Amino acid sequence: MTDTIVVLDFGSQYSQLIARRVREAQVYSELFPWDAPAAQVLALKPKGYILSGGPASVYAPGAPQVPHYVLDSGLPMLGICYGMQALTHALGGRVAPAAEREFGPAEIETIQINPLIHPGRQPVWMSHGDRIEALPEGFISLARSPNSPLAAMGNLETRRFGLQFHPEVRHTPGGFEMIRRFVVDICQAVPDWTPESIIQQSIERIRAQVGKASVLSAVSGGVDSSVATALVHRAIGDQLVSVFVDTGLLRQDERLQVEKAFGAAMGMRLITVNAIEEMMDALENVTEPERKRRIIGETFIRTFEAQAAKVGSPHFLVQGTIYPDVVESRAPDRSKGDRIKTHHNVGGLPEDMIFELVEPLRYLFKDEVRAVGEALGLPAELVWRQPFPGPGLAVRCLGEITPERLATLRAADAIFTEELGRAGLLRMTRPATGKGEGDQGTAQAFAVLLPVRSVGVMGDLRTYQEVIALRAVTTEDFMTADWARLPYDLLGRVANRIINEVHGVNRVVYDITSKPPATIEWE
């Protein structure tokens, strides 16, 4: 069993980033709510604990507390922001509202040599309204900032530490090294979490779950479902039956591309099911996003249930659910954050479905999924293609979904993708600067059809037609994202082509909102 670091979530929207940074240090981590059952957490035999940030104040009634089994474990601990305050409060220190709150960039100075933070001054990212006023017994101050005389603390003997800032975000340049030092040097966890080890452990879990039973795989053509299908196929071979459902919500030529990729590139038998009529009927006159997702999830499952009856009624269904799906849908066993939206494959599934889900990627981040895909030998065009949401164009066609509006959206999206490809900007070639210069490529880019009409002029005639919004982002993990600084001439060319070639559109806009506050998809 690989060494594990447990991250306890106290309600921060960035708790999952802590887990991801630990995995970047090649140490496995899992995220649990702070009040998860002790037996569930201890079953992993953790090497140490990280306590996340959160929106509460430790002195507020009912505020989350550090569990007793964690305090009694004797294992190393790292409290981040609220986690530091909760640790201080639990061990007898004092936390109080800060006279001057800190939100945003700050600079800390290391004042005590320690195994966690390197000497000198360095920039960090603060986000807190409370601060430590009295350290717990046995702790010393490790670093300070202008507004936080106790910006970091530690008990070197018990290997318990606290950081008032956020090392998990990129705005703290030295933060990853702090996390690496904690998990590898202080917790002494073995850094063996690699794509190869992920594959091996996944194969063992899949075989243990399904035994000799036959399994259906829900193939969408996206990165996640392709990697999940390949991983299950590696584990059980011909026990797997791959099924591709054409919902009518696909990108242009998607069906042909999927059939070609799975047949020629992966050597799997693929059954294609036409469910366009059923999906369109189910979505008729539906405009509310959450209802769309639930309807798509249920219709999708019912289609697979009907297909299962034709191939021997398999009990298991493979899905390409990944960790951001789980977090944004607020799966109760893994997150204390607010539900952002119900992903059709997490919270949108019918309770009475006949399948037991096989989700080998459920707690992997997108970059880990791609790395596993490469290690499995999947073609680059599958591993590195643009992400596509499970509900398909339904969540990019805002308002009413009709075949005509989908055709409009599909054509506009194809133009945007084609022009990005010609410009060599369909993939990130180096990390975004976030300063508007030097960004190369996009992590995700697509068109959105808005249920908004605007007045225009074409051929001296008044038009009153719909609006296409273009969305392109740069990101490393899809939990946070920045809008891509695409060249103006490229955007102009895309807009001109859409106006001239796509019926029913007379205006094109570009979305320049980051995540947060927005999500990458519009619905």
Which is more confident, 417 or 104? 417
Q: How much is the pTM?
A: 0.73
Question: What percent of the chain lies above the pLDDT cut of 70?
Answer: 90
| pLDDT at position 333 over 60 | no
List 30, 168, 368, 419, catalytic entry: 168
- Decide whether 4-186 matches 396-510 in CATH topology: no
Out of 41-50, 132-141, 478-487, which region has the weakest mean confidence (pLDDT)?
478-487
Query: For residue 330, what pLDDT is reported?
Result: 54
Residue 102 in this model has a pLDDT that exceeds 80: no
- Shortest CA distance to 2 belongs to which of 187, 179, 193? 193
Residue 118 known to be catalytic: no
DSSP helix, strand, coil percent of the chain (3-state; round to 5)? 35, 25, 40
C-beta separation of 484 from 429 below 8 A: no
User: Which DSSP symbol is given to 344?
Assistant: T
Mean pLDDT across 487-509: 96
Residue 391 pLDDT exceeds 70: yes
Residues 439, 484 contacting (CB under 8 angstroms): yes
The helix-helix angle for 276-283 and 289-310 (nearest 10°) equals 150
pLDDT of 167 reads 95
Question: What number is the average pLDDT over the span 73-88?
Answer: 96
Residue with tokens 């900032």: 145
* pLDDT band (50, 70, 90) for residue 349: low
Among residues 128, 166, 233, 343, the one annotated as catalytic is 166
Mean pLDDT, rounded, for 316-321: 91
Domain range summary for the chain, segments of one domain joined by +: 4-186, 195-383, 396-510
49, pLDDT greater than 70 = yes
pLDDT-based confidence at residue 340 (cuts at 50, 70, 90): very low
The hierarchical CATH code for the domain 195-383 is 3.40.50.620
Residues 6+ apart with CB under 8 A from 27: 3, 4, 5, 183, 184, 189, 190, 191, 193
Q: Which residue has the higher pLDDT, 127 or 274?
A: 274
To the query of whether residue 171 is one of the catalytic residues in this protein, the response is: no
Residues 162, 81: Cα–Cα separation, whole Å = 8
Among residues 30, 81, 298, 344, which one is catalytic? 81
168 flagged as catalytic: yes
Does pLDDT of 459 surpass 80? no
Beta bridge partners of 130: 97
d(CA 205, CA 360): 8
Give 108's pLDDT tier (boundaries 50, 70, 90): very high
Task: Out of 119-128, 326-335, 488-497, pick the least confident.
Answer: 326-335
- The residue behind tokens 């530490």 is 161
H helix or E strand, kind and range, residue 416: helix 403-422
Give the count of beta carbons closer than 10 Å to the beta carbon of residue 169: 18
Q: What is the pLDDT of residue 428?
A: 59
Q: How confident is the model at residue 239 (pLDDT cuts 50, 70, 90)?
A: very high
**For the domain bounded by 396-510, which CATH number is listed?**
3.30.300.10
Query: Does the pLDDT of residue 339 top 50, yes or no?
Result: no
Q: What strands lie across the sheet with 270-274, from one edge to the other?
A: 270-274, 240-246, 215-219, 316-318, 356-358
Strands (E) in 159-311, as ranges, are: 160-163, 215-219, 240-246, 270-274
Instruction: Note the CATH number of domain 4-186.
Output: 3.40.50.880
Mean pLDDT of the chain: 87
The lowest-confidence range among 98-112, 113-127, 184-198 is 98-112
Query: Is a pLDDT exceeding 50 seen at residue 344?
Result: no
Instruction: Give the integer Cα–Cα distance in Å for 192 and 26.
Output: 6
Q: pLDDT at position 12, please?
A: 87
CA 241 to mean position of chain CA atoms = 27
Q: Average the pLDDT over 280-291 and give the result.
A: 93
Q: Give the CA distances from residue 287 to residues 296, 395, 400, in Å, rounded to whole numbers and listed in that order.
A: 13, 10, 5
